[in-house]
Structures are given as structure tokens and as C-alpha cells.
Structure 1
């Protein structure tokens, strides 16, 4: 414990207090000797980083329990299934920096349940750099992270239905010989993206026109 405290740059009594509070896991014991490892050191540095960001020890303990209950990255990513998304590795402190003040046990549990986040040892993995950046931008614009996550769940329901539609249409009308053993119909992704980009753009046009028509003449546009 003395060596661990020295490596972490904190008093031994603080390490003992964290151990008693369950913030770090028990050491490996060999007789009367207790061995701590890099995992314990990483946890102490995470605690220090989150304390600097305004989290309380109780909140950190809740985050740790939620984090440890999450699925690992292999399960979330489907053991190497096809994807165009780029996963991002984050420390808990980096995640807190992306969503300042919004990384709560409830939001973390929702993100883990959605599969946006997964665990890999002491690191957190976000499954999509694009989703991470968009989510962080929405939070910076004032949208609560809980709302971002609940909206993401609703979007996923529609996206799953659209994926089923595109795959079934292309599979039904693609040449079986040309498709061969390909894991997905040819041109599936670019065609699906092109259709959805255009349809979403036109849907936004229609929505904004309706909103403009309903607004009183003296009320300025947002």
C-alpha cells in the first residue's frame, strides 16, 4: 500500500480510506503480503482526475459500479462484425471532459445499455467517433445528455426499421450470382445513405416551412 500511495502521489491514509469505501478493489494476497497492481494505480488516478472535475467520492463510487456492470467491447462490437464506425478509447476523465457535468450514473447506465459505450479493462470505448462528437456538440449547445440519449434510442428504432427495409429490398432484387458470398448486398451503404440524406433534408424543409407558416408575422425566425 505504501508503494501504491507513493506511485499515485497521495497519502497512505487516503489509499486506505478509498479501500474501505470500496473505491479500489482488494489487493492480491500472498500470505501476509498485499500486492497492488497497475489496475489499482489507474483507478487512483481516475479518482483524482474526477475529483478535480467536481465529482464527489459518492458519485465516483456510483460511476465505478455502473461502469463495472457494463458490457465489454467485444460484446458490443459483435466480435468484429462489419462496421464503418471508428471506435474511440477514452479514460473516465476524458469522458467527463466531453460531457462536463453530465456524466452521471444514470446517463452512464443509459449509454452502456444503448451500446454507445463499452468497457475494455480500465478504458471506456465509445463505438462511434461521429456519435461521440455529435453528442458532445449537442450538450455544448444546451441539450441535456439524458435527452440526447433518449433521442438516440428513438432514432435507433427508426434506423433499425430502415436498415431492414433497405436490406430486404436489395436482397430481393439483387442478382444472386453477382452477390456471391458477400456479407451484405452490393452498394447497400452508399445507396441507403444517399436516400436517407435526401429524405431527411426534404423532411426538415417541410417541417421548417410548416413552422414558418404557423408563426405570427411579427415573430422573428429562430
Structure 2
């Protein structure tokens, strides 16, 4: 404990307090010896970074609990690894930089449930850089992250329905296989993008007329 506290630049008393608040996971024990590793040190440095960004210890504790109970990367990729999206590795302080005080345990849990985030040791992995960038841009425009994530759930439902339509269109044709589906997926994306663009045009026109 003394070695860990020294490496983290805190007192043993502070470290004990963090342990009591369950801000760090318990050590591995061998008899009367408690072993701490790089994961504990990384968590302590994350706590320090979040405190510097204005987060409270209560908020950090909620974030830590969400991290510890989130799906790991293996579980997430087991649901179907993205073939085109680029995953992004993040630290908790990176999330704070992207979303400020909206990087709450509630929003983190919602993102975990949605499958946007997974955990990998002391790191967080976002499954799509594009979705991360869009979410952060919407928050910078003043849209609450909770609303962004709630809308993402609805978008997911519509996207699944569109994917099912295109899959049925291809695979119900004689002689067509999943290889054809993969080869023709850019066509489905082009149709979806064009239709969404025209739908937005119609919405803008309606808003102008009213």
C-alpha cells in the first residue's frame, strides 16, 4: 500500500479512503501480503485527473462502478464485430474531455447498454470513432448527452429494420448468399444515405413553410 501510494503521489490515508469508498478494486492477496498492480495505479491516476476536471468523489465512485460492471471488449465483439467502423480506446478522463460533466454514470450505463462502449482492463473502448465524434459534436451544440443516447436507441431500431429489408432483398433471390450481401452492402448504405438526405430536405421545407 505504501509503494502504491508513493507511485500515485498520494498519502496512505488517502489510499485507504479510496479503498473504503470502493474507488479502486481490492488487491490480490497472498497470505498477509496485499499485491497492487498497474491497474490500481492507472485507476488512481484517473481519479486524480477527474478530480482536476471538477468531478466529485461520489460521481467518480459511480463511474468506477459502471466501468467495473460494464461488458468487456470480448463480450461486445462476440455480439458481432464491426467490419468498417474504427474502435477508439479511451480513458475515463478522455470521456470527461469529450463530454464534460455529462460523462455521468447514468449516461455511461446507457452507452454500455447500447453497445457503444465496452471495457478492456483500465481502458474504455468506443466501437465507432464516427459515432463518438458525432455524439461529442451534438453535445457541444447544447444537446444533452442523455437525449443523444435516447435518440440513438431509436436510430438503432430503424437501422436494424433497414438492414433486415436489404438482407431479405438479397438473400431471397435465387443463388444469392451472405457473400453477395457483404459485397453489395455499399449499395444499401448509399440508398439509406440518399433517402435520409431527402427526408431531411422535406423536414426543412416543412419547417420553412410553417
Whether the TM-score (by the shorter chain) exceeds 0.5 is yes
The equivalent of 2:37 in structure 1 is: 37
By how many angstroms is 1:193 displaced? 1.0
Of 191, 209, 212 in structure 1, the residue corresponding to residue 208 of structure 2 is 212
CA distance in 1, matches of 2:107, 2:153: 13
Give, in angstroms, the shift of residue 80 of structure 1. 6.2
Q: How far apart in 2 are the matches of 1:205 and 1:90? A: 36
Retained in 2: the 8 A contact 1:74–1:80? no
Query: Which runs of 5 or more structure 1 residues have no equivalent in the other structure?
Result: 215-222
Query: Does residue 1:10 correspond to 2:10, yes or no?
Result: yes
Decide which structure has the larger Cα Rg and report it.
1
Query: Is the contact made by 2:72 and 2:118 (CA closer than 8 Å) also made in structure 1?
Result: yes
Alignment of 1:1-222 (within 5 A): 1-78=1-78, 81=81, 83-173=83-173, 175-176=175-176, 179=177, 182=179, 185-214=181-210
Please, what is the CA RMSD of the aligned residues?
1.5
From the two aligned structures, give the one with the greater helix fraction. Answer: 2
Q: Distance in 2 between matches of 1:174 and 1:186?
A: 16
Q: Deviations for 1:69-96, whole angstroms, at most 9, x for unmatched residues?
A: 1111121122664521111000111011
For 1:79 and 1:156, locate their aligned partners in 2 and report how far apart those are by CA, in whole Å.
15
Distance 1:154 1:73, change over 3 A: same
Q: What is aligned with 1:217?
A: none
> What is the count of residue pairs matched by the alignment?
210
Following superposition, the deviation at residue 46 of structure 1 comes to: 0.9
- What is the TM-score normalised by the length of structure 1? 0.90
CA offset digits 1:33-66 (Å, max 9, x no partner):
2221111111111111111111111111111111
User: Tell me, what secondary structure is at the counterpart of 2:102?
Assistant: coil
TM-score (norm. length: structure 2): 0.94
Contact 1:88/1:126, CA 8 A, preserved across alignment: yes
